[in-house]
Structure 1
């Protein structure tokens, strides 16, 4: 990172809205887009700059006091909670123990753990190509839905193996497949989208504060899972320790379906209006109609 950062441009929005340097903002956009046709992006940032000049200077506590920020902040925080309380770090931290619990012997648990790490890397790369084609909200729904299904299958397979002492030969492999599919579902959306969606739903003024709050929530949740999950096992619930994650995923899936808007292909102006209207679905149809009517 130290060697590569000197060749990376500043954020065009920072250059335009904070540094007030239109020329550098345009050069950064041309470098990022690999085309000189950046007029539409520049016009959008100019409109945002004009709006920003009419607004009072942002203070950190405005993030909590201003009701306009309440909905996007709630979405940012809940998406970070979804990422960590999905149980992903319990799976990653203790995958070898999970595979041993499932009945794998010798070095197979270690090999299976290596496989899950490889799948995570590959699917994260794949998701980068899917986001601008499928959409953020769709990938979140598919990913969290997949996490719910496969964590439930994993919990069920461990209960059958340990609690009911069922020795069917394919049960350990069902546990392995569940973990790998769980990793695929996580990396396809919930693993990456919460990190940058916060930047898409906040304007330049409150963006850094919102990113800081959501990042703090993410790491605190990470810490909580790392601390609590082994305690669940110590309290002798072992094979049942994934059931709390299943319950939380049901709540998170419902929240995403009801509250998280689609941001793909929308300008910040369009996204900000989503949080000013009581019915997001109505506004979605308005945006789609506008895009059809606009030459």
Structure 2
């Protein structure tokens, strides 16, 4: 039960950071804040490059600082970035192209900071943590549920983002920031640290000692049925 809930929620939260909305529609987003066609495409290339390069930070840091610290640090950085973007656009963007050049540059930097933090945390760790928590005998089914949740949420965000952007305007960034706050609370209260814990002792060393998930485990380390 705990690995399945965590595996699904990690995939859902990954999409509700707004990362795919930004990556899918980066040219549209940057045109909205005043970039020309060529500049907006260049900006999306920049964010894609930042995404790839920042992933290497996770490769080198994940076994040194742990999973939870990377996730929590990223939540703070993503939350502040989304809030700052929303405030700037709400204050300065009245119609397409009316925002000043300084504000546009700041928005691009904030988007890069957002993508950067996602790429070294929720992006790769959303796959790593389930691989460390699902028992071997249920891993196939568990990953099937997790991946299905990921694809479903990706589809939903891709379908509604442009409509939400048109209706909510700058407030869409506050919407994603609210989800990031929920994600942070999820990590604080429900996500255990799995660094250095072998799969075969996960129940004994993690689930049975966790203040929440221990209530779902019996004395043998299995999911309680009553």
CA distance in 1, matches of 2:125, 2:16: 15
Change (3 A) 1:207 1:144: same
Q: What is the TM-score with the length of structure 1 in the denominator?
A: 0.67
**Alpha-carbon displacement from aligned partner over 1:98-140 (angstroms, at most 9, x marks no partner):** 2122222352211111111111111112211111111111111
Change (3 A) 1:142 1:209: same
2:15 aligned partner: 84
Q: 1:136 aligns with which of 67, 71, 84?
A: 67
Q: What is the TM-score with the length of structure 2 in the denominator?
A: 0.86
CA drift at 1:246: 1.1
CA drift at 1:155: 1.5
Matched, 1:268 2:199: yes
Q: 2:24 aligns with which of 93, 96, 118?
A: 93
CA drift at 1:168: 4.7
Preserved contact between residue 119 and residue 180 of structure 1 (Cα < 8 Å): yes
What SS class does the counterpart of residue 192 from structure 2 fall into? coil
What SS class does the counterpart of residue 122 from structure 2 fall into? coil
Matched, 1:105 2:36: yes
1:174 aligned partner: 106
2:160 aligned partner: 228
CA distance in 2, matches of 1:199, 1:233: 35
What SS class does the counterpart of residue 119 from structure 2 fall into? helix
1:147 aligned partner: 78
2:124 aligned partner: 192
Runs of 4+ aligned structure 1 residues displaced above 3 Å come to 163-169
Question: 1:13-24 counterparts in 2 under 5 A?
Answer: none
Preserved contact between residue 31 and residue 37 of structure 2 (Cα < 8 Å): no
Structure 1, unaligned runs of 5 or more: 1-69, 281-295
Q: 1:162 aligns with which of 93, 101, 124?
A: 93
Preserved contact between residue 102 and residue 172 of structure 1 (Cα < 8 Å): yes
Question: 1:47-66 counterparts in 2 under 5 A?
Answer: none
1:247 aligned partner: 178
**Alpha-carbon displacement from aligned partner over 1:199-255 (angstroms, at most 9, x marks no partner):** 211211011111110010011010010011112134x32222222111111111111
Larger Cα Rg: Structure 1 or Structure 2?
1
What SS class does the counterpart of residue 170 from structure 2 fall into? helix
**Alpha-carbon displacement from aligned partner over 1:61-118 (angstroms, at most 9, x marks no partner):** xxxxxxxxx2221111111111111000110011112212222235221111111111
Preserved contact between residue 160 and residue 166 of structure 1 (Cα < 8 Å): no
Aligned residue pairs total 211
Of the structure 1 ranges 265-274 and 248-257, higher mean CA displacement relative to structure 2 is found in 265-274
CA drift at 1:196: 2.1
What SS class does the counterpart of residue 266 from structure 1 fall into? coil
